């Protein structure tokens, strides 16, 4: 460590780890990133004005445009190669350039501190002084839906992202500045940025607000200004309030998807880095520990996490391993070590956790370098517990997620939790089915937000495996778990949701502008839905009960990731029937088939690997609509099935799904399901591929035989 440097906890640990061979990949990667940042000769100017990064995608295939330092006016799609030009894309390039400057400054500051690279330290000092020279003069701008404005960027949260990186760089190198330089950075950059962020704090519980309040808190700490520090940390919608109200009882961030869970956790930890061993230390905050604990229970059999809501991509345990480096250092939880050993593929005396399809990642993150602990010690009980989490059914009433594993990697997840605000897809009781990561009836998440399909398709009830009424979106409501169990034959869950009153958990602390209220409350007033799902070996049984208080239209929606075996007329005749209020062009090759009560029509779908056989039964006369609809990534297609009934009262939809990884469709069923809804509300299934079953929607376990 160079003379005169401020003693920072994470920097001291990084210095120690940099001497150890197990952290050589992390140090090497840091050096590479620092050298790349040092090679950049970008000159900021008074006219810099960043644009929303979600615009930086191809309008045809949603491919990310390639950022190139040497081509600020030419933006090539990484998928199809199409070149985009124009002010919007140039402004996106400006925003990305400044994001890179922020992260580059952090990497150069850390590498310069570890390796004694005075040239890196001088470059970071110059960057901070340049920002101090220009920042106050940049104009406030930005009109992104549901976002506050920025000065350098188009959003308040992007400003927060950027200043967190620069703030940590300043923290590491502060003592290398002379008094005039330090004053210039504080006066020209840190304080006006703090003032701007305070002026645009969000009055809600939201991941944006976490970013913004974390940044304000860090700036207050750096400025040694307690008023600014407390403006970020305390009060209604401050960082502490975000943690207390935004983290559900079992540890999931309320927006309901692991992507935004860790997105919210990241800035909290960045602030935590800075204030370790000070009176502001947050390591004792219980919600942080719960946020690290929760994902352990919802690792899928292939090592991925469920993609849903506004998640645009599939992520796995390796993606989030850096956070468990810090978690192990802060909390010493042996399960975090087991997670890391699995993510890195470390062999030992204990058999490694089997995650077919998962490729271990390199231990080369900045988190590993700054917080990494020795991973050689094995804890048998911790590894066994992690294995149980992956291999056995898991259910959380608080977060509203249940995952039921079966044979051949079959994996069913059911949603039944609190409404998730802006990033929710209005899809209560949605299910997602896959096998070893192969999509079968999978939640597709969404595409980049600036793509028309984001707001035009993926953020609507109709693109999910749930129920829509009158072709409209579900209004906000909290699902609830009524029952869950592990039985000798398999596992099950029962969940419900209703629209008897306009209330939900976070109603009074999230903001939903009119443009993000596409639902129709009259269509759902008084509606009750209940869903009981079970997994037995490589079978899934799905029983949905819909109660409509008067004459309406109910659609059970299923989106199959596969190709129908057989001729298209299995799905009826071509039709011009309206599917829902969304753009009819979304529904290609529409077909329609009328079905009598109890009629069963087996369908076989060829998945990316193996076959899914489907048997469907309905208690009332129904219409089966089908069409080819958009999937994710862009260009992928799904086969949408809509089982539609008209009228009031109770309707039951019953499905049996059988998955065979070898591609066999012989399931021992000739299209016969006999079932009857009893007066006590139970469904008596007298004949089915799994024999006799009694199903209920009151939390009672299914009964076979």
> How far is Cα 391 from Cα 158, in angstroms, rounded to an integer?
39
> Can you give the pLDDT at residue 5?
42
Q: Where are the alpha helices (DSSP H) in 141-178?
A: 156-173
Please tell me the number of Cα atoms within 13 Å of 432 on its side-chain side. Answer: 23
Strand-pairing partners, residue 394, are 403
> Can you give the pLDDT at residue 465?
99
Of 439, 420, 212, nearest in space to 310 by CA: 420
Output the CA torsion sign for 209, 283, 277, 4.
negative
> How far is Cα 351 from Cα 322, in angstroms, rounded to an integer?
23
> Can you give the pLDDT at residue 671?
67
Annotate 291-343 with DSSP letters as a single string. HHHGGGGG--TTSEE---TT--S-EETTTTHHHHHHHHHHH--HHHHHHHHHH
- Residues of the chain falling short of pLDDT 50: 1-5, 669
- The values of phi and psi at residue 478, to 5°, are -95, 130
> Can you give the pLDDT at residue 4?
35
- The values of phi and psi at residue 185, to 5°, are -65, -45
Instruction: Kindly list the distances between the CA atom of residue 314 and the CA atoms of 446, 562, 613, 632, 686, in Å, as whole numbers in the listed order.
Output: 11, 19, 25, 10, 40
Within 8 A by CB and 6+ apart from 603, the residues are 564, 566, 570, 613, 614, 616
Contact status, residue 197 vs residue 156, Cβ threshold 8 Å: yes
Contact status, residue 453 vs residue 630, Cβ threshold 8 Å: yes
Instruction: Kindly list the distances between the CA atom of residue 120 and the CA atoms of 117, 123, 132, 414, 657, in Å, as whole numbers in the listed order.
Output: 5, 5, 18, 50, 59
| Superfamily classification of domain 1-200 | Chondroitin AC/alginate lyase (1.50.10.100)
> Can you give the pLDDT at residue 352?
61
Strand-pairing partners, residue 545, are 530, 652
> How far is Cα 187 from Cα 22, in angstroms, rounded to an integer?
41
**ω into residue 391 within 30 of 0, thus cis?**
no
Q: Which helix (H) or strand (E) holds 103?
A: helix 87-115
Domain parsing of the chain, residue ranges: 1-200, 299-391, 398-665
> How far is Cα 58 from Cα 80, in angstroms, rounded to an integer?
8
> Can you give the pLDDT at residue 377?
81
Task: Decide whether 1-200 matches 398-665 in CATH topology.
Answer: no
Please tell me the number of Cα atoms within 13 Å of 431 on its side-chain side. Answer: 32
Q: Which CATH architecture describes the domain 398-665?
A: Distorted Sandwich (2.70)
Angle between the 24-39 and 118-134 helix axes, to the nearest 10 degrees?
50
> How far is Cα 104 from Cα 687, in angstroms, rounded to an integer?
65
pTM, rounded to two decimals: 0.94
> How far is Cα 68 from Cα 46, in angstroms, rounded to an integer?
21
């Amino acid at each position: 460590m160079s003379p005169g440097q401020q003693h920072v906890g994470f920097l001291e640990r990084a210095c120690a780890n940099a001497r150890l061979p197990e952290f050589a990949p992390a140090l090497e990667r840091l050096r590479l990133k620092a050298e790349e940042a040092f090679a950049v000769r970008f000159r900021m100017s008074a006219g810099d004005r960043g644009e929303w990064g979600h615009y930086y995608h191809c309008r045809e295939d949603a491919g990310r445009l390639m950022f190139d330092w040497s081509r600020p006016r030419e933006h090539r799609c990484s998928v199809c190669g199409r070149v985009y030009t124009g002010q919007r894309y140039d402004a996106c390039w400006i925003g990305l350039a400044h994001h890179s400057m922020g992260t580059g400054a952090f990497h150069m500051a850390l590498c310069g501190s570890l390796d004694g690279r005075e040239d890196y330290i001088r470059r970071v000092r110059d960057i901070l002084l340049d920002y101090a020279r220009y920042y106050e003069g940049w104009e406030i701008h930005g009109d992104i839906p549901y976002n506050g404005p920025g000065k350098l960027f188009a959003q308040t949260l992007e400003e927060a992202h950027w200043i967190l990186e620069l703030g940590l760089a300043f923290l590491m190198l502060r003592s290398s500045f002379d008094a005039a330089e330090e004053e210039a950075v504080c006066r020209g950059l840190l304080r006006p940025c703090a003032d701007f962020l305070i002026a645009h704090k969000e009055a809600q519980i939201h991941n944006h607000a976490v970013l913004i309040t974390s940044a304000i808190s860090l700036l207050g700490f750096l400025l040694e200004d307690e008023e600014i520090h407390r403006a970020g940390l305390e009060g209604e919608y401050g960082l502490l309030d975000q943690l207390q109200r935004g983290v559900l009882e079992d540890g999931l961030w309320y927006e309901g998807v692991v992507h935004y869970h860790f997105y919210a956790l990241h800035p909290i930890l960045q602030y935590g880095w800075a204030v370790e061993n000070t009176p502001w230390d947050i390591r004792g905050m219980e919600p942080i520990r719960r946020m690290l604990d929760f994902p352990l229970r919802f690792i899928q059999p292939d090592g991925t996490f469920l993609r849903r809501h506004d998640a645009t991509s599939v992520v796995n345990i390796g993606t989030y391993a850096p956070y468990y480096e810090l978690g192990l250092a802060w909390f010493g939880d042996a399960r975090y070590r087991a997670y890391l050993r699995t993510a890195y593929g470390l062999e030992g005396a204990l058999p490694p956790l089997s995650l077919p399809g998962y490729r271990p990642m390199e231990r080369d993150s900045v988190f590993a370098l700054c917080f990494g602990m020795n991973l050689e010690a094995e804890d048998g009980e911790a590894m066994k517990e992690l294995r149980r989490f992956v291999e056995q059914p898991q259910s959380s009433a608080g977060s509203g997620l249940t995952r039921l594993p079966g044979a051949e990697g079959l994996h069913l997840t059911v949603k039944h939790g609190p409404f998730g605000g802006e990033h929710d897809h209005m899809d209560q009781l949605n299910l997602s089915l896959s096998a070893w990561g192969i999509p079968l009836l999978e939640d597709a998440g969404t595409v980049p937000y600036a793509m028309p399909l984001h707001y035009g398709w993926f953020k609507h009830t109709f693109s999910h495996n749930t129920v829509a009424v009158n072709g409209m979106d579900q209004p906000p409501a909290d699902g609830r778990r009524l029952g869950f169990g592990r039985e000798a034959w398999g596992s099950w869950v029962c969940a419900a949701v209703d629209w008897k009153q306009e209330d939900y958990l976070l109603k009074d602390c999230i903001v939903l502008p009119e443009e993000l209220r596409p639902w129709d409350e009259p269509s759902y007033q008084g509606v009750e839905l209940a869903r009981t799902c079970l997994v037995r070996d490589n079978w899934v049984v799905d029983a949905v009960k819909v109660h409509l208080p008067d004459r309406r239209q109910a659609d059970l929606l299923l989106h199959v990731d596969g190709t129908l075996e057989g001729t298209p007329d299995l799905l009826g005749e071509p039709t011009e029937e309206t599917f829902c209020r969304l753009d009819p062009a979304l529904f290609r090759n529409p077909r329609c088939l009328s079905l009598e009560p109890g009629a069963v029509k087996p369908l076989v779908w060829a998945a990316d690997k193996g076959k899914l056989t489907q048997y469907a039964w309905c208690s009332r006369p129904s219409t089966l609509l089908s069409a080819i609809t958009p999937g994710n990534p862009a260009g992928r297609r799904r086969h949408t099935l809509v089982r539609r009934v008209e009228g009031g009262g109770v309707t039951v939809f019953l499905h049996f799904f059988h998955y065979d990884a070898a591609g066999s469709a012989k399931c021992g069923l000739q299209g016969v399901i006999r079932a009857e809804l009893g007066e006590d509300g139970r469904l008596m299934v007298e004949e089915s591929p799994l024999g006799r079953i009694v199903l209920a929607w009151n939390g009672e376990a299914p009964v076979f035989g």
